[in-house]
Amino acid sequence: MSESDLEEMFTLAVSVAKEAGQIIRDAFDKEKEVDTKLSAADLVTESDQAVEKIVNTRIMEKFPTHRFIGEETTSESGEKHELTDDPTWIIDPIDGTTNFVNRIQEVSFSLGIMVNKKTVIGVVYAPIKDEMFTARLGKGAYLNGMKLQASKITDLKQAVIITEGGSSRDAKEVEDKVKNIHALITHTRGIRAYGSAAVNLCHVAAGRGQGYVEYGIHIWDFIAGALIAKEAGAVVLDPTGCDLDPLRRRILCACSPEVAKGLSQILTHLDMGCD
């Protein structure tokens, strides 16, 4: 893949993020038709579907041979994913749908592009706050054009860690997540929860807190934010400390290797299966 191909893909990625953001912004204050998916807390709206459809169209017009993985398309098909070496656009039309429905401002459009199974471009746009986070592999991470740098903290006791209750209401899964929340409160300066995985990763990239851990999310939730965090100097791993497997539905992000190691040691590692 040539530099100019990547440049063209990046330009389209930012352009569709802006278009998606406009749709999200227009719908934000309106009443929404809400459907549920796997639990009463797992939501989808017409806007999720509308954004996914238009973004898919834009990508296919310009890059008809590229692959596409979208949250809503996938939820409907229920199929397992196989990552290939082909250029693959992975999108979450609205990351933080519960926030969107409940009018909480942390909602985002997330788009990651993988080539040869490596993320080369990440774009997360939070339209209500007009924050456009972008990263290209090896070229740094940016917020509205300003270079990002993760926090320099190395001591877990000084870290604030983002985590989430998530949308599953499976009793065992909730119990394990709560156990992790307990461990995080005990060993850190505190926890935060914003309700959007993509935004959470961008917060760590921007130095707003020192880490983020979540079990039960999907590749479309974190693939773009993970690159943005890494390009801002953060560490992104599987929570066990192994390399991140983008299909294993869990992620640990920390501003430094020391904080990552500390987190990995205090957490109970939930096996979430794979996408």
Known catalytic residues are: 71, 92, 94-95, 97, 221
Give the pairing type, strands 118-126 and 34-36: unpaired
- The secondary structure element, H or E, covering residue 15 is helix 3-28
What whole-number distance in Å separates Cα of residue 134 and Cα of residue 191? 25
Could you tell me which stretch among 18-26, 50-58, 76-84, 97-105 binds its own copies (CB under 8 A)?
97-105
SS3 164: coil
Out of 4, 144, 186, 243, the only residue in the binding site for its own copies (CB under 8 A) is: 186
Task: Determine, following the binding rule CB under 8 A, whether residue 193 of this chain makes contact with its own copies.
Answer: yes
Cβ pair 159, 259 in contact under 8 A: yes
DSSP 265: H
Task: Determine, following the binding rule CB under 8 A, whether residue 256 of this chain makes contact with its own copies.
Answer: no
Out of 44, 159, 228, 252, the only residue in the binding site for its own copies (CB under 8 A) is: 159
Task: Determine, following the binding rule CB under 8 A, whether residue 83 of this chain makes contact with its own copies.
Answer: no
- Least distance CB 255 / its own copies (angstroms): 10
Out of 22, 75, 98, 154, the only residue in the binding site for its own copies (CB under 8 A) is: 98
Cβ pair 49, 87 in contact under 8 A: no
Q: Is 118 left (phi over 0), alpha (psi -120 to 50) or beta?
A: beta
SS3 179: helix
Applying CB under 8 A, which residues contact its own copies?
40-41, 43, 98-99, 102-105, 151, 153, 157-160, 164-167, 169, 171, 174-175, 177-178, 181-182, 184-186, 188-195, 203, 207-210
Which residues are annotated as part of the binding site? 71, 92, 94-95, 221
